[in-house]
Amino acid sequence: MTKLSRRNFLKTLGGVVVVGSLAACNGGGSGDGPDTTTSAFGTPEEAEAAKAEIRKAIRLIFDRTYICEQIAQADQIPASTFVCQGVGEPDGSDFMQNAGRGNGTGYYDVSQEALAANFEAAIDVLKKYYSYDEASGMFTDFPTMTYLYNTSESHKAIGEYLQSTLAGIGITMNMENQEWATFLNTRKAGNYSIARNGWIMDYTDPICMLDMWTSGSGNNDVQYGKGAHAGLAMYSIDLTPWGYDTKVENGTWAETFDVLIDTINKCSDQAKRFEMMHLAEDILMETGCLCPIYYYTNPYLLNKDVEGFYVTPLGFAHFEKTTVAGAGDSINVSYGSEPDTLDPALNSAVDGATTLVHTFAGLSKWDLQADGSYAIAPECAQEMVEGVENADGTVTYTYTLRDGLTWSDGQPLTAHDFEFAWKRAASDELGADYGEMYSVIVGYPNDLAVTAIDDKTLEVTSTNLIAYWDELMAFPVFYPVREDVVSNESWATDPATYVCNGPYSISNWDHNSVITLSKRDDYWDAANISMSQINWYLSDDHNTNLANWENGDWHFIDEIPTNEMARVKEQYADQYVVAPYAGTYYVCWNVNTEILPA
């Protein structure tokens, strides 16, 4: 099926079915609930369709070029899709270029030339629902919102721009700041109306940015299929064009989007997979709950005396092979504030994952190649193996672990540790944000088809051929943990109980100040680990971080104050680096937030 035929199909069936006429939904009342009570906006489904139209209109108002060039100033690219650019299709084209309207402009034109038309179109939509004073150009009855963001000058500056832009048409949006760990938990719990958000890919396949929105996903901050939204029967999918006997009209989110993602995950035909992934993004963008701002870049300052540093496109910084002025004694870096957790199964942040790639090791890893590219290489596994397809279409992988693998307390690492860790991370009981990444394994979530045949042999069976399987094996949620260690619920907060299997162990943790990582001499690849100690300073005060870098106390920082960006670029041109980053910075709405006029 070609892109054009898929677009015609979607246009005809409407990936999202709106119940009733929006033109008739022009009055007061909320109607936001799981029952079928009608209001001035019709049924709850009609009210939600109205809210979706409002959210889509508001996202047209923002000047993304201004945000990128005048606020963020780190060479970001204005975004018009949720799935980021640089993700390839089977035919070699870019997924982003084929998304939305299929003409390279995504779901709407974010160019400067389109600003005026976008603004006019947004105002016309909003006039259908809210009182508008033509003389002042202001809406007078849009409910007050609160914008949630985490501590960061750049996040604050972007929020203030959004606030000012909305104020210009009479919409009041207050600002609320929370420190990182609290912010993550607040957003995850859905205790917000509109929030700053961002997603960095865990592996370079579009499903990574799509399956997070299923109703049961721990990363579903929008609350799709949760609360009042769970009972709304207003979505439709028809997968018969791709050879599936699946057609749902006026179904809930769980009955449609969840089913679509499950079908994609079990599909081995790459052409069909990508077509259906475009449909999934279409459905997400039609809700208006996702407002892409820009595609990430990864700017950082690296002291000129540092060699051997690299950062992957997923944002994980690597210091294990660095030297400072030719010496490998210690390096001082800052990569965020106090982590919410350093349990590989429970971490959901890039800064935490960057620590984990130093303290833990999976079957595979991202490795820097001689030509500067990145590739998956074996780590705990002796080699990356090809899966064997079974008669039922499932695929079995059999890994042999390297000799001499040990935990940081000296005990041997075995295949049984991998089996335990994977079953724990996938289980409903743990409720890990990334647990759903195990859905590609037979028996997910509570009877995972992974078995330690013996101490060195691990066998796992996937639901089908997974194109990004080797990348999954490198992701922190697939790292091993030991059963006797994690039985202590606070194991991952104290160096005395933090038992890990990577090139470093935690020798000291002064909470909210610094984590000290020390090289493990008994690590299997210790001979190739050049840095003996990494001092991980925990700070989200970007001005302080920059001062510490400029005076030479710190060798690496990854956040630069917005008001200093122009000076930094000019003054430290040889030490300012912009690395590729596979992700999207966006604003998200809580789908259950009431925005219709009272």
Q: With contact defined as beta carbons under 8 Å apart, do 379 and 365 qualify? A: yes
The CATH number given to 3-295+584-589 is 3.10.105.10
Q: Is 304 exposed, middle or buried (0-12, 13-18, 19+ CB in 10 A)?
A: exposed
Chain region(s) in the chain for CATH 3.10.105.10: 3-295+584-589
**Nearest-CA neighbor of 67 among 293, 222, 254, 225?**
293
Q: Is the peptide bond before 445 cis (omega within 30 degrees of 0)?
A: yes
Q: Is 542 exposed, middle or buried (0-12, 13-18, 19+ CB in 10 A)?
A: buried
Neighbours of 65 (CB within 10 A): 16
Class of domain 304-540: alpha beta
User: E-strand spans in 429-493?
Assistant: 450-454, 457-462
Q: For residues 518, 502, 366 and 342, what is the CA-based torsion angle, rounded to 10 degrees?
A: -80
Question: What are the phi and psi torsion angles at 67 (to 5°)?
Answer: -60, -45
Q: Rounded distance, CA 36 to CA 42, Å?
A: 9
Q: Rounded distance, CA 266 to CA 262, Å?
A: 6
Q: Rounded distance, CA 312 to CA 304, Å?
A: 20
pLDDT value at residue 174? 98
Parallel, antiparallel, or unpaired for β 450-454 and 457-462? antiparallel
Question: Which two three-digit tokens encode residue 257?
Answer: 């989007």
Residue burial 158-172, b: 16+ Cβ < 10 Å; e: rest: bbebbbebbeebbbe
Q: What 8-state DSSP symbol labels residue 412?
A: B
Instruction: Map residue 424 onto helix, strand or coil.
Output: helix
Q: How far is CA 574 from CA 304, 556, 562, 571, in A?
A: 8, 14, 19, 8
pLDDT value at residue 20? 31
- Rounded to 10°, the helix 44-59/115-127 angle is 150
Chain region(s) in the chain for CATH 3.40.190.10: 304-540
pTM for the predicted model, two decimal places: 0.79
DSSP 167-233: HTTT--EEEEEE-HHHHHHHHHHT--SEEEEEEE-SSSSGGGGTGGGSTT-TT-TT-TTSGGGGG--
pLDDT in 10s for each residue of the chain, 598 residues: 222 232 332 333 333 333 332 332 333 333 333 333 445 789 999 999 999 999 999 999 999 999 999 999 989 999 999 999 989 899 999 999 999 988 889 999 999 999 999 999 999 999 999 999 999 999 999 999 999 999 888 999 999 999 999 999 999 999 999 998 899 999 999 999 999 999 989 888 999 999 999 999 989 999 999 999 999 999 999 999 999 999 999 999 999 999 999 999 888 899 999 999 999 999 999 999 999 999 999 999 999 999 999 998 888 999 999 999 999 999 999 988 898 899 999 998 889 999 999 999 999 999 888 887 788 999 999 999 999 999 999 999 999 999 999 999 999 999 999 999 999 999 999 999 889 899 999 999 999 999 999 999 999 999 999 989 999 999 999 999 999 999 999 999 999 999 999 999 999 999 999 999 999 999 999 999 999 999 999 998 999 999 999 999 999 999 898 889 999 999 999 999 998 889 999 999 999 999 999 8
Parallel, antiparallel, or unpaired for β 556-557 and 331-334? parallel
Q: Please name the residues in contact with 354: beta carbons below 8 A apart, sequence gap of 6 or more.
A: 315, 316, 317, 335, 336
Q: With contact defined as beta carbons under 8 Å apart, do 231 and 35 qualify? A: yes
Question: Which two three-digit tokens encode residue 453?
Answer: 């045949």
pLDDT value at residue 350? 87
Q: With contact defined as beta carbons under 8 Å apart, do 557 and 535 qualify? A: no
pLDDT value at residue 32? 35
For residue 544, the Cα-to-chain-centroid distance in whole angstroms is 27
pLDDT value at residue 594? 95
Q: Rounded distance, CA 110 to CA 113, Å?
A: 8
**Nearest-CA neighbor of 535 among 551, 557, 550?**
557
**Nearest-CA neighbor of 539 among 528, 527, 550, 547?**
547
